[in-house]
Structure 1
């Protein structure tokens, strides 16, 4: 595993080699902005899933998020902002640790950038593993943590907020899951080359 501070770019030579070796390009949004736009319905859907599960244990109120109803003011806690930033990286680290052999891989990266972070690998992985990696931050943070902390009464306002924000942020991951599920046959392998993804049936 290595650390990067830049978004990975497509290697044109690798692209030609992969296509020549029978890998098929997966149709995806051309950039992160398009991915976010196409993910908006999923943001709403995943956010509501997290809110619904939270409400099973602890109803969400405006006061949970520092909003005072009478004067419409909002309290912003610097410590809470720091915790949210930490969880942005935890989201990416969860992706990372489910990449096979990530610690010893020279083709797996944790990105530290101005917008937060990203996890990225150029290792060849199965379709099933790709979907598993993409889904885990949502399942662990926005579902699993609620089911664990809710029954014992430890869903604090900041944890509720983090679970919801993580669910919304997982929308691009789930857009990728949908694209992979539709385009890639079962038992196929997937590889990344910068912003491009390819598959090959085994």
Structure 2
């Protein structure tokens, strides 16, 4: 796996080669802004799932909703800096979870990890089975917004800030779930998927 300073752009030569070899192009948003816009319903759905899980585990975290009024006060101190650092680390962990489910990601020259401004990313042009692609896209949400709060609650560490992190991760997984839906409904079972920047191709090649 290599480090990249920006999201890997679409390799038009590779796209043309894949189409010449009979690969089919997935119908999908052509850029991140459009993908994010189309993913908004998933953000609310995933956020609702995480809130439901945490509310079941620790209802007291939501007691503020019963109050007639509430306020938010910001104090710039060491804790705020620490919270920002933890938020950044949480985002990096999200991307690394994507990476570790890519087969042979450590040795792969076709897999990149990087930070683009305030956001991390992982990209790969490795051929992936349909099921593997779905697992790669699903796992950051499942681990950080479903399993993680359950584990935190077992150790009595589930608090408002952890709720915020888990909720943010859940809603931030919306584009991942858009990709899951696109792959699930367009790509036949048993097919191989190759992601090339903002273009995705699939084939029944074994």
TM-score of the aligned structures, taking structure 1 as reference length: 0.93
Gapped regions of structure 2 (runs ≥ 5): none
Q: Please tell me whether residue 154 in structure 1 is matched to residue 157 in structure 2.
A: yes
Tell me what 1:79 maps to: 82
Q: Distance in 2 between matches of 1:33 and 1:115?
A: 16
Quote how far apart the aligned CAs of 1:94 are.
0.3
Q: Distance in 1 between matches of 2:167 and 2:54?
A: 9
Quote how far apart the aligned CAs of 1:75 are.
2.7
Q: Please tell me whether residue 189 in structure 1 is matched to residue 192 in structure 2.
A: yes
Tell me what 1:34 maps to: 34
Q: Distance in 2 between matches of 1:111 and 1:2?
A: 8
Q: Distance in 2 between matches of 1:137 and 1:179?
A: 18
SS in 2 for 1:39: helix
Q: Is the 8 A contact 1:57 1:151 kept in 2?
A: no
Q: Is the 8 A contact 1:39 1:175 kept in 2?
A: yes
1:22-48 Cα offsets, whole Å, 9 max, x none, are 110001111111111111111001001
SS in 1 for 2:106: helix
Matches within 5 A, 1:28-67: 28-59=28-59, 60-61=61-62
TM-score of the aligned structures, taking structure 2 as reference length: 0.91
Q: Is the 8 A contact 1:88 1:117 kept in 2?
A: yes
Q: Distance in 1 between matches of 2:131 and 2:166?
A: 25
Quote how far apart the aligned CAs of 1:62 are.
7.3
The aligned length equals 197
Aligned CA-pair RMSD = 1.6
Tell me what 2:167 maps to: 164
Q: Distance in 1 between matches of 2:114 and 2:120?
A: 5
